Structure 1
Amino acid sequence: MPSNRVVKVRSTGDSVTAQEMRDGIAAIQQELKVTPSFPDSVEKAAADAAANPRLPELDRTDIELVTIDPESARDLDQAMHIARDPDHAGGYVVHYAIADVAAFVTPGDAVDVEANRRGETLYGADSKVPLHPTVLSEGAASLLPDEVRPALLWTIKVDETGEGTDVEVERALVRSRAKLSYEAVQADLDAGRADEMILLLKEVGELRLAREASRGGVSLPLPEQELIENGDGHWELEFRRLTPVETWNAQISLLTGMGAASLMVYARVGILRTLPPADPHDVQRLHRTARALGIEWPAEQLYPDFVRTLDPSKPTHAAMIVACTRLLRGAGYVTFNGELPEQAQHSALASEYAHVTAPLRRLVDRYAGEVCVALCAGTEVPDWVVAAMHELPDTMTSSGRRANQYENAVVDLCEAELLHDRVGQSFSAVVVDLDEKDELKGDITIQDPAIEATVTGTEPLPLGEEVRVELVQADPKSRSVEFRLA
């Protein structure tokens, strides 16, 4: 499940405004010095690797795996199969195959060096700057249907309460039977024609959500923001809520990440994804945002319980969920080899957790997966993993910062495109935060369109109060949006 805003663009593709959007994305990539293309040496190394993978001996192509992703996705990291546990009444066996990038990428080769430079795939407004060349990420390493692929095959047993009880991972050959989309699977469920495996995904997903609530964790049902060209050269902003299938699918990924963390913590070696407890100031700010959007949040209600009351199909609730990503700031990685780190938990999940399920799109997953394979096989963690571990947190922090810059620039571009023909109009807003260095500046939440922005006044801003603001600038070229108190 994403932790950052996802912005998609729907347009005719050949209009002036659509071209402006493409030009804006290209300008962002140039400014941040990122590019979808790769040096020739990297493309050649990737093509050679695609033709000569290191294949495991174990063949588990008998498992009827499927992938469930957005319709257009081709970088398929994960394939799953869920069955009832024949050895435990009421239990389940989850098989989760993860693309084996290390079967293609050799430590120190051109693809590896470039992946370490990039860190992760960048997304925004239907643009993509991939971590690996597409000959691997959308070809030879992707778990495409009816193709035999090397994978890290996780086998996780889950009891009748949704708790994982046993976890193992090993290298194996796998074959996905079908590439399914979230929308199609949801439609089959709604129509009562879903097969048994999908019904079991629903059972396990709902059990995992209940377990999450009981331990005080929360997963943000972050909606996609879709900028839609309405046909007359103007844009409208809509939110697309996650389908229940996407939520259950995310819970399988979280289950695997928690199982991986348990293996590493027990062995006292590994790479964890961490998040410190929320800053009370940020929680107070979210209370003001809820008030700005007209959403009731009783003072005695805990944050995780509040999030579970939100309905992403409502634009104001969707905007509130986006605002809640503020509490995910400070997330990072910690590596250890011997002594456990002092702060090992991911506070939003109320659990120890590791990233292992998206190696085509996130560098750290390849390393964490290798640790777990070694631990389950009873072998030493590979030297190339141990040697790189101390640098990984900084590498991922740097790439995360770049991903946030890319995301924010794309959001700024989209909001400037959305508002550029409304300069001079006034809007109702609520001041949700003040600039610590300048009390004449602050952040506002606007309900329609549901965006956050900065505002400037001629006198101290009234924190938490409703105000009228005037849009004084919305320039797509500079991606700047400016409001002032009306």
Structure 2
Amino acid sequence: MNGPVATRRILAPSIDFGALRRELELPEQFPLAAQREADESAAATALPAVDRTDIPFVTIDPPTSRDLDQAMCLRERAGGGYRVHYAIADVAAYVRPGGALDTETWRRGQTVYLPDGKVPLHPYSLSEDAVSLLPGVDRAAVVWTVDVDADGSTVAIQLERAKVRSRAKLDYAGVQADADAGRLAEPIAALPALGALLFERGLERGAISLPLPEQDVEPDGDGWRLVLRAPHAVEEYNAQISLLTGMAAASIMLTGGVGLLRTMPAPRSEAVGRLRAAAPALGIEWPDGQPAGRVVASVDPADARAAAFLDHAAELMRGAGYTAFDGKAPDDPGHGAVAAPYAHVTAPLRRLADRYATEVCLALYGGVEVPDWARAALPRLPEVMSGTDRAASAAERGAVDLTEAVLLAGRVGDEFDAAVLDVDDRPKKVPGGLIALDEPPVRARCEGDLPLGERIRVRLVTADPAQRRVLFTRSG
């Protein structure tokens, strides 16, 4: 697993993201009836009778986050292995089926994040207060307890509604620093060892995890800064706990014959073949018999040629969606990147589908009928989530594209150093591909004959904020 590449920032002037919000038809506020319902629920909903406040849960999230879905406590088991306590915010306890708030969450589908503020799935009185697993207060949660043996196999699952209390709100950078210094807080002291174990087990299954740096737009005084950031190792370890829980949820639903899975086809053999064919030219070793996931995990994303390889590897992870079933399991219930059946259940404050998948799991685990309101919703969720996934992706990409165009608007004609991440694989009138600048951290199209994975000099020819478009050409 790779450590983070250097974070790079550059300041952009004031940017108005309002046009992007209007273009995507993102709601500006909650209807009065939905807001009132949320406020009343926040004030009146009783906490569960089962008390698990003795478990020292902690959360790990970005430092400014307040919509905290998950809290964990990890313990070693006698004889080897681990016990994972994973508390998930119990959103369903606060949202009345068929009510005004429920209706509005179906219209939104998920929280959409923009640099100037998010468009939340639930009103702040719930998402950042009454339901959020903030530290030092009692909260309603769905608590997963998953026992893992010494080789990373799941050996037992327990599920219950319970009252919990988080002890601390931690952030990724701080947790990584503590992990490096060997001083992790007791509830997550086992995170590096368990996360690495689960990651390795995933590679053995054929899982694929892309360590690609992310472009983010962050506020900086009166302007904005464009940030290129690779994840800390502890972010991957944290993700492994969520994946473990999602696989446990999928197993419950498949055994019970009803549910909602997050699915993706296995990587197509021709896509794997193309990636393998590109590896030698990019200096990537691919030993005989080595699965794609292990090769991807072995490269350093800070290297230009490795970054090009990882960009190509993204082709292996296409076609993700949701699959609902009732009475008969889907023919292919797996998720190609997880290399196992998997469900979304760990982010109900931010994702509509998780509320319903969790309710199904609770019913099946408890041996009772799935509530009619949850069962009836399952067939509609794949289409709703597909639409909201597109909107969220468009918002994220649109914000970055706009920032890049504003940032570069006064520099048309300037030259930059860049790495070639991808080249056109189909004939075009003007050949080209995708490049990544060294500074500022921009990814954009470049025209010309481009050498894949190599470093080149490029010249900016277009930077149009109105069209959110940036274009380069190869110098010389």
TM-score normalized by structure 2? 0.88
TM-align CA RMSD: 3.1
* Aligned CA distance change for structure 1 residues 9 and 39 (closer, same or farther; 3 Å): farther
- After alignment, is 105-114 or 196-205 more displaced? 196-205
Matched, 1:68 2:60: yes
* Aligned CA distance change for structure 1 residues 401 and 344 (closer, same or farther; 3 Å): same
Instruction: Report what 1:46 is aligned to.
Output: 38
Instruction: Report what 1:3 is aligned to.
Output: none
Matched, 1:180 2:170: yes
Cα distance, 1:196 vs structure 2: 3.3
Instruction: Report what 2:284 is aligned to.
Output: 296
Matched, 1:81 2:81: no
| Equivalent in 102, 106, 110 of residue 100 of structure 2 | 110
Instruction: Report what 1:248 is aligned to.
Output: 237
Instruction: Report what 1:444 is aligned to.
Output: 434
| Aligned residues of 1:56 and 1:173 also touching (Cα < 8 A) | yes
Instruction: Report what 1:34 is aligned to.
Output: 26
Instruction: Report what 1:307 is aligned to.
Output: 296
| Aligned residues of 1:429 and 1:469 also touching (Cα < 8 A) | no
Cα distance, 1:426 vs structure 2: 4.4
Listed one character per residue, the Cα deviations across residues 404-450 of structure 1 (whole Å, up to 9, x for unaligned) are 21122112112213432331234566483437574435533245356
Which amino acid is the alignment partner of residue 98 of structure 1? I
Tell me, in whole angstroms, the C-alpha distance in 1 between the residues paired with 2:224 and 2:371: 55
Tell me, in whole angstroms, the C-alpha distance in 1 between the residues paired with 2:141 and 2:155: 22
Tell me, in whole angstroms, the C-alpha distance in 1 between the residues paired with 2:397 and 2:466: 15
| Aligned residues of 2:279 and 2:285 also touching (Cα < 8 A) | yes
Q: SS at the partner of 2:201?
A: helix
Cα distance, 1:243 vs structure 2: 1.8
| Aligned residues of 2:246 and 2:345 also touching (Cα < 8 A) | yes
Matched, 1:453 2:444: yes
Cα distance, 1:116 vs structure 2: 0.8
Cα distance, 1:282 vs structure 2: 5.0
Which amino acid is the alignment partner of residue 365 of structure 1? D
Matched, 1:191 2:181: yes
Cα distance, 1:35 vs structure 2: 3.5
Matched, 1:262 2:261: no
Which amino acid is the alignment partner of residue 134 of structure 2? L
- After alignment, is 417-426 or 281-290 more displaced? 281-290
| Equivalent in 344, 348, 359 of residue 333 of structure 2 | 344
Which amino acid is the alignment partner of residue 444 of structure 2? A
TM-score normalized by structure 1? 0.86
Q: SS at the partner of 1:391?
A: helix
Instruction: Report what 1:398 is aligned to.
Output: 387
Listed one character per residue, the Cα deviations across residues 213-261 of structure 1 (whole Å, up to 9, x for unaligned) are 11111222343324589999996x5532222221111111100000001
* Aligned CA distance change for structure 1 residues 133 and 297 (closer, same or farther; 3 Å): farther
Matched, 1:215 2:205: yes
* Aligned CA distance change for structure 1 residues 194 and 485 (closer, same or farther; 3 Å): closer
Tell me, in whole angstroms, the C-alpha distance in 2 between the residues paired with 1:172 and 1:63: 11
Matched, 1:414 2:409: no
Matched, 1:96 2:91: no
- After alignment, is 125-134 or 419-428 more displaced? 419-428
* Aligned CA distance change for structure 1 residues 29 and 376 (closer, same or farther; 3 Å): same
| Aligned residues of 1:10 and 1:226 also touching (Cα < 8 A) | no
Cα distance, 1:278 vs structure 2: 2.6
Q: SS at the partner of 2:344?
A: coil
Listed one character per residue, the Cα deviations across residues 27-64 of structure 1 (whole Å, up to 9, x for unaligned) are 21111111453222221111111112253221111111
Tell me, in whole angstroms, the C-alpha distance in 1 between the residues paired with 2:452 and 2:270: 13
Q: Which runs of 5+ in 2 are unaligned?
A: 1-6
* Aligned CA distance change for structure 1 residues 128 and 252 (closer, same or farther; 3 Å): same
Tell me, in whole angstroms, the C-alpha distance in 1 between the residues paired with 2:421 and 2:337: 26
Report the count of equivalent residues.
465
| Aligned residues of 2:50 and 2:161 also touching (Cα < 8 A) | yes
Q: SS at the partner of 1:251?
A: helix
Tell me, in whole angstroms, the C-alpha distance in 2 between the residues paired with 1:27 and 1:379: 48
Instruction: Report what 1:14 is aligned to.
Output: none
Tell me, in whole angstroms, the C-alpha distance in 2 between the residues paired with 1:291 and 1:42: 57
Cα distance, 1:99 vs structure 2: 0.2
Cα distance, 1:317 vs structure 2: 5.0
* Aligned CA distance change for structure 1 residues 395 and 345 (closer, same or farther; 3 Å): same
Which amino acid is the alignment partner of residue 146 of structure 2? I
Which amino acid is the alignment partner of residue 412 of structure 1? D
- After alignment, is 117-126 or 147-156 more displaced? 117-126
| Aligned residues of 1:275 and 1:330 also touching (Cα < 8 A) | yes
Listed one character per residue, the Cα deviations across residues 37-95 of structure 1 (whole Å, up to 9, x for unaligned) are 32222211111111122532211111111111111110000011111224xx1122111
Q: SS at the partner of 1:149?
A: strand
Instruction: Report what 1:423 is aligned to.
Output: 412
| Aligned residues of 1:10 and 1:227 also touching (Cα < 8 A) | no
| Aligned residues of 1:9 and 1:226 also touching (Cα < 8 A) | no
Tell me, in whole angstroms, the C-alpha distance in 2 between the residues paired with 1:335 and 1:99: 23
